Amino acid sequence: MGNKSNIASALHIAVEETADVKGRFETGLQALRKADRYKIVVSDTRKLTGSVDIDSSTKDKYPEANRWDYAIEYGGETFFVEVHPGSTGEVKTVIAKLDWLKQWLKNAAPAIDALKSKNKSAYHWVYTKDSAILPNSKYAKMLSINGLGLPKKQLTL
């Protein structure tokens, strides 16, 4: 459960202060499922500090919730990533997951919330196979209103 890192990590400290995910910080992308790791691209691996699998860490406490997948610390900022099918029928589900994440961060994980990226978008949807969501569609507008961009094939940090 949780690789301990010698690298100073604000996310690691915040995870240890958050009961729901305590002990679940992993170095690099180790918290991500193997199938999801290749979907995250970093230009400088030295800036990739660690990650936490929010979904699996909170499933026992919030079994019926639409839980968000991951938090990833890169370059001193934390990004929240959902790996999910990119179909139009999944837009409402991903928005529900984002709503859950924002409430969870506010109420149960304020130390993690304080670390979210302020220079770039903090919330990202990475699709699993294909995305059928067009840039000017009503679905794109729904995502934008809720603070999410279009789903992407890979997230480059």
Neighbours of 120 (CB within 10 A): 11
Q: Which residues pair with 48 in a beta bridge?
A: 74
Distances from the Cα of 44 to the Cα of 58, 75, 104, 125, 157, angstroms: 30, 9, 30, 21, 9
Q: Could you tell me the pTM of the whole model?
A: 0.93
76-110 confidence digits (pLDDT tens): 999 999 999 999 999 999 999 999 999 999 999 99
Q: Give residue-wise pLDDT tens across range 49-63.
A: 999 999 999 999 999
For 125-155, the pLDDT digits (tens) are 999 989 989 999 999 999 999 999 999 999 9
How does DSSP assign 15-33, residue by residue?
HHT-TTTTT--EETTTTS-
